[in-house]
Amino acid sequence: MKPRDPTMHTIHLTVNGEREEVSVPAGMTLLELLRERLYLTGVKEGCGAGECGACTVLVNGLAVNSCLVLAVEVDGAEIQTVEGEAKDGKLSELQQAFIDEGAIQCGFCTPGMIMSARGLLSKNPHPTRSEIVEALAGNLCRCTGYEAIIAAVEKAAERGPKDNRR
């Protein structure tokens, strides 16, 4: 029998509602687990250092930079990525609001923006503009100038808490 590799860990987690069991090395980030093992490539790597927010996902409902979390740390956790937004082929209100407001240009920052906004709206369904700005301050966008993105989150909040409390 091969000796057990002390750097490998078996973890259990729920990703977008589905239970997963994976064996991961200690040095693997949550970002790498999601993209390279679970093929959830909506999660983007920008800076890899917690500056840009492109890799934002929700861990137990809280927005975090998945590049700064180890996969082993989320054993037992519930993860939400942008892939969990659309249900039955229908975009979420938040995604639709991004389209309606023209809040997407190149699209690279969009999954992170959506997840930061989701983290905010699930806790605070009717945020003020400054609360939206604060929640999105960790997400960089080089295309849109942010105004349309803020407007999209405002629109999603206006359109109704039903969808925003998922």
Partner 1 sequence: MIGEFEYAHVSSVEQGCTLLTKHNGNAKILAGGTDLLVNIRNGKDSPTLLVDLKGIEELAEFQPNGKEGALIGASVPLNVLAEDRVIRRNYRALAEAAASIGTYQIRNRATLAGNLCNASPAADMAPALFVLDAVATVVGPHGTRTLPVQDLFVGVKENALSLDEVVTAITLPSQKPQIRTRFLKIQRIRGHDLALLNMAGCLDAASGKLRIAIGSCAKTPLLLPSLNEPVSEDASIDALVEKLNALAQGTIQPISDLRASAEYRRAMVSVLLKKILGALLHPKEEK
- For residue 11, give the nearest of 1, 24, 2 by alpha carbon: 24
One of 1, 2, 4, 6 touching partner 1 (CB under 8 A): 6
Tell me which long-range contacts 37-43 makes (C-beta under 8 A, separation of at least 24): 40/15, 40/16, 40/81, 40/83, 42/81, 42/82, 42/83, 42/111, 43/81, 43/82, 43/111
CB of 78 to partner 1, least distance (A): 14
- For residue 13, give the nearest of 68, 70, 90 by alpha carbon: 70
CB of 155 to partner 1, least distance (A): 20
With contacts defined by CB under 8 A, name the span among 63-71, 79-87, 101-109, 150-158 that binds partner 1: 63-71
One of 14, 16, 37, 75 touching partner 1 (CB under 8 A): 75
Interface with partner 1 (CB under 8 A): 6-7, 9, 25-29, 32, 48-51, 53, 56, 62-65, 68-70, 72-73, 75, 116, 119, 134-139
